[in-house]
Amino acid sequence: MTQAGKIATPEQLHTIGARAAELITSGQAVGLGSGKASHAFVRMLGQRVREHGLNIVGIPTSESTARLAREVGIPLGSLENIRQLDIAVDGADEVDPKLNLTKGGGGDLLREKVIASIARRYVVVIGEEKLVEHLGMKFPVFVEVVEFAMPVVIRSLATLGASATARMTADGQLFRTDNGNPLLHARFDPSDKQLLHPDILDQNIRNIPGTIETGLFLNKADEVLVANFNGTVGTLRR
């Protein structure tokens, strides 16, 4: 298990980004994730495109990733003409022993889940600090919602045992995802037994009218690349 308080260094993220970029081959359609580890992967993938003429097309999971991909020279496509991705590489906020994920800390969970759903191979890149015994130990469950229904969803989450609040920006405005929707932070007590059964919890949240998507990514990761504190990169497979 992880060492408390430690986080992956920029050097570790660079290493894991390079390792993930090596998985990509010419001719592939590639899902490009969001967040620090994913962006390290995008930068290294761009380097391979520039230096080795790698012929790929990328589908980004956020506007920030799209900007970065353009900066580093990765050609981008759209879901209008790409039905399936050969591989997607993304990060996570938490990873449990079954390789279930908590995602959404960057606010991009809906697009990330769409990309995960059409990827033949879904690879997650994280620092060792993201490994947890069960989901919800360090992060809330993120929930993207319709703004009109936000009060209803918050009250409904309370009946499930969560204290839910809307994410706000630094200047006190309601945070909106790239899709224009609010994002809730649903915090459960880490000892809540619901967190031991994320599949049931996910369905209960999704059943609330006004919920668009949750940040629980279950049975999606095929493998997880872990930047360990000792400088090595480990691989976990489902």
CA distances from 150 to 127, 162, 169, 205, 231 (A): 33, 14, 17, 13, 43
Give 109-129 pLDDT, tens digit per residue: 999 999 999 999 999 999 999
| pTM for this prediction | 0.94
CATH node for 141-214:
3.30.70.260
- The pLDDT of residue 5 is 59
Give 177-229 pLDDT, tens digit per residue: 999 999 999 999 988 888 999 999 999 999 999 999 999 999 999 999 999 98
10-131+218-237 with 141-214: one CATH topology?
no
Question: Would you name the residues annotated as active-site residues?
Answer: 112
Q: Over the chain, what is the mean pLDDT?
A: 95
**CATH, domain 10-131+218-237, list 3.40.120.10, 3.40.50.1360, 3.10.20.30, 3.40.50.720:** 3.40.50.1360
- The pLDDT of residue 238 is 84
Domain boundaries of the chain, sorted by first residue: 10-131+218-237, 141-214
Residues 137, 13, 116, 23, Cα dihedral to 10°: -140
